[in-house]
A and B are shown apart, each in its own frame.
Chain A
Amino acid sequence: MNKIEVGDKIRIEKKNMVYEGILLPTTDASSKNMIILKLSSGYNIGIKKDKNTKITLIKKSVFKPGKIPKMKFKKKSELPNITIIGTGGTIGTHVDYKTGGVFMCRTPEEILAAVPEINEIINIKKVINLFNVGSEDINKKHWKKLAEAVKKEIEDGADGIIITHGTDTLAMTSAALNFMIGVPPIPIALVGAQRSPDRGSFDGRLNLLCAAHYCTTNIAEVSVVMHGSINDDYCYAIKGTKVRKNHSSRRDAFQPINTIPFLKIWDDGRKEFLRKDYHKREKKRVELKTNFAKVGLIKVYQNSEPRILEWYLKNDYKGLVIEGTGLGHVPGRDAGTKYNWIPEIEKLVKKGVIIVICTSTIHGRTNNRVYRNLRLLDRTGVLWGKDLHSESALIKLSIVLGSAKKLEEAKKLFETNLVGEFEERTLIGDVLGF
């Protein structure tokens, strides 16, 4: 007697009822003793197994769930040679027969199988399946690995690089990559998807096509290329250090923060250049900075206590970004001794912790002098994030602290415009829902 396994056609007899279908794996989401059966109609149902349930085998191995085809690339030498690097995320998800949800499992070849037209825009030089994780799990080790892979591909002559990534922390990785490799010699696009590739409404299709078009331009920048509207019509290529995911589920979640996107791109290849001051392609060596110092991000709010800062000091944090209110305020003397952040911040600065003040409004620039409390805060020796939003400031702070030998050098580096992350002018077009 053959053992019954997933994929076999079986018969279940229970209380005068007979069900026939294909045995599927039972996921963690199901109740105890549930048998998941795929009926001939295609419907899956759960049948609870009890003492009186009889299961018999009809046929072995009828169905193998979850097989994804891979894209076969055609070599097209006339097109630019673009390397695709997969790191995981929704853009590479598939049904997980363990939990019943989706998980990151698709290789880049499997992702591209959903967008075969991409081969008409670019020649796929190489496909690298670097790692396959949800973006919430990405950390500095992944960043280092990514920067090294990017450097190698640039040195190997790639005309552009497309990196697929989960959307949750995509904007942080784009900032990290930009700070790690500096201004790149070629276009580098980070793309993701808010809807998985197993459905007709997969938004990654447009993002991938537009990323491919972006890689054919002269814009040598690290950019996030994602939906520009709720329609599947165009994407924006937004500077990697000045972009943020501002919605948990919309396809146009990525917005420029205090900047104007480089490019508006339609899937048919139409392009609208929105600015001229981007770095152009050039031949140059890439120097990596991949040391990250321990830094933290804190938000102040009404009734917030500055005592939390002691914990960071005790736990050896080298730098902190504080999201202040409005122009960059923290609660001061009038909030009461228990809630006055200014003396506590001063204590940390004196102990050699770099503190950067950003704004919790996300959009807009900090200021160090309009109000008295801002001036008092400024005198403690904090740095100002200016038009850099807190997550980007955090990554920059971590890298400058990791690469500088001395505190003063790190401070100086933070205040330097390394890759174009500081912009002198904030324009009307770049505020909220661009």
Chain B
Amino acid sequence: MKKELLLVMFLVFDYEKLKFKCGLEIHQQLNTNKLFCSCKTLINNEYDFSFERKLMPVVGESGRIDESALNEFKKRKKMKYFGNYETSCLVDMDSEPPHEINHEALIIAIQMALLLKMKLVDEIQVMRKTIIDGSITTGFQRTALIATNGYIETSIGRVPIESLVLEEDSCRKIKETEKEIHWALDRQGTPLIELMTAPVLKTPQHALETALKLRELSRKLKIKRGIGTIRQDVNVSIKNGARIEIKGFQNVKQMPKVIDKEIQRQLKEKKLVPQVRVVLNDNTTKYLRPLSSSSRMYPETDALPIKITKELIEEARRILPRIIDVKKELLKLGLKEEIANQIERTGQYEKFKHLNARIKNPKLVSTYLLINKKASTELLEKVLINLQKKKITKQNAKQIIKQNINLSDLKKFIAETISEDDIRKTINKILESKKELLNDERAFKMLMGLVMKEFKGKADGSLVSKILKEEIKKKLKSVIRKF
């Protein structure tokens, strides 16, 4: 008992013993127009129009409203929607039936299914998932199952991908007061791919690795990048526990910590109820709502079924970017396995490729690339070029990348670095004035000290040492010749 408590305190768990069960649900926005109309999918905070709506509770295909839902409905806040002409039309306003499904989005979903070696359904049936919190004007999310039964390779084996769903995103909440909720329409209708792994992830670290792998794979397709374009939810339970869905990770890296804290909570809690929880700033979670059930699904009668034809699959394949084995490519360039892994894991292969095309020194590029993931490609490129020309010291180069300085500030470091010619001139000047030292056996060490003091750290040590050696040799030769 004591040992267990200690383990809880330090968040060190035997996941196998705990019967840790964990799966991922990843939502990735696609970089296309909206799924059921031709509006752009941009975040735009300037609004051309607004309107108000009241949604009523309807439950699945039964159409029944129970008393408590009705009471809840009567107390509801006023839903106010804000839109602009660029990103929202009558379809978003629930005032025109949906148009045909966005072909480009459908192709990207099929491509994702192909990458994950999934089995495509023969005919897509668009469904409505009832959502009446106001986040979608229709009161439901249009969603369609595209493929099942795929997998992704991870360091501890294959993780099955159970389903791939193509669906529309909801509104952005922009304000909530006691009486009103304000929603921005711009995001509503943006195509999303939802990937669901089997609940087989072994550890929280494994969950993170799988999330990163899936993100890396999806980045090969036409998806949106940046804040809010991907949402990674985690389903987690332990022995005698209940299924808990965790939403709202600000950063995917939080995942292991949050999962561990959730395990800690589940161990402490006496009675666990399946629920959805949201991540807080301190990596703990807060109750959000009960889990939703399959009874929320209803056929979308405004859409036709879509047959996945050979032509569609061929089109997806034709424009599927060549997916290469990153690690294999890096090893071919002579990099160590550990370095190759690191580049792949941090998702910097594209950056590496770009830099190496200019610098043509894989080892040098990888060393500096891995210092700081956030350093821009432009900065890395400039630093590496100057480093090769010896216009910048290694020490400074590392510092610059670590601090990810502005490109404009880079000049300062370059200007302050003394060129090879100047180094040679200064060394010769010192050698002239300290001729007597040449006879000493400690000449090099002493001279090196004097020279470096003169440069005040603005010259590259290895370069100085090289030039100094050369110049001493020259001087000694000329002395010998004189005799």
Contacts and interface: CB of A to CB of B under 8 A. Distances in A.
B128 A199 contact: yes
B100 interface: no
B96 interface: yes
A434 B90 CA distance: 20
A100 B293 CA distance: 23
A41 B164 CA distance: 12
A289 to B, nearest CB: 37
Given A39-B145, A101-B301, A67 B61 contact: yes
A25 to B, nearest CB: 11
A149 interface: no
Interface in B298-334: 298-299, 301-302, 304-305, 307
B27 to A, nearest CB: 16
A119 B63 CA distance: 18
Contacts of A34: 122-123, 305, 307
Contacts of A125: none
Interface residues on B, range: 35 or more
A201 B94 contact: yes
Nearest to A199: B139
A232 interface: yes
B138 to A, nearest CB: 5
B62 A201 contact: no
Interface stretch (A44-52, A296-304, A359-367): A44-52
A201 B55 contact: yes
Given A44-B299, A200-B130, A232-B54, A30 B305 contact: yes
B93 interface: yes
A42 B123 contact: no
B123 A41 contact: no
B298 to A, nearest CB: 6
Interface string B35-60: 00000000000000001111111100
B63 A42 contact: no
B63 A198 contact: yes
Given A114-B63, A200-B139, A249 B295 contact: no
Nearest to A35: B122
Contact of A199 (B124, B138, B293, B304): B138
A22 B65 CA distance: 25
Nearest to B132: A200
A155 interface: no
A189 interface: no
A250 B123 CA distance: 31
A100 B127 CA distance: 11
20 contacts: A30-B123, A36-B125, A40-B294, A41-B163, A46-B123, A46-B305, A48-B123, A68-B62, A100-B299, A102-B301, A113-B65, A117-B70, A198-B298, A199-B138, A200-B140, A201-B137, A201-B139, A202-B56, A205-B54, A206-B54
Interface of A: 17, 19, 27, 29-31, 34, 36, 38-48, 65-69, 94-96, 100-102, 110, 113-114, 116-117, 194-202, 205-206, 229-233, 248-251, 267
Given A45-B122, A200-B139, 15 more contacts: A17-B148, A27-B305, A29-B304, A31-B307, A34-B123, A36-B125, A43-B145, A68-B62, A96-B301, A100-B299, A114-B58, A195-B94, A200-B57, A205-B54, A232-B53
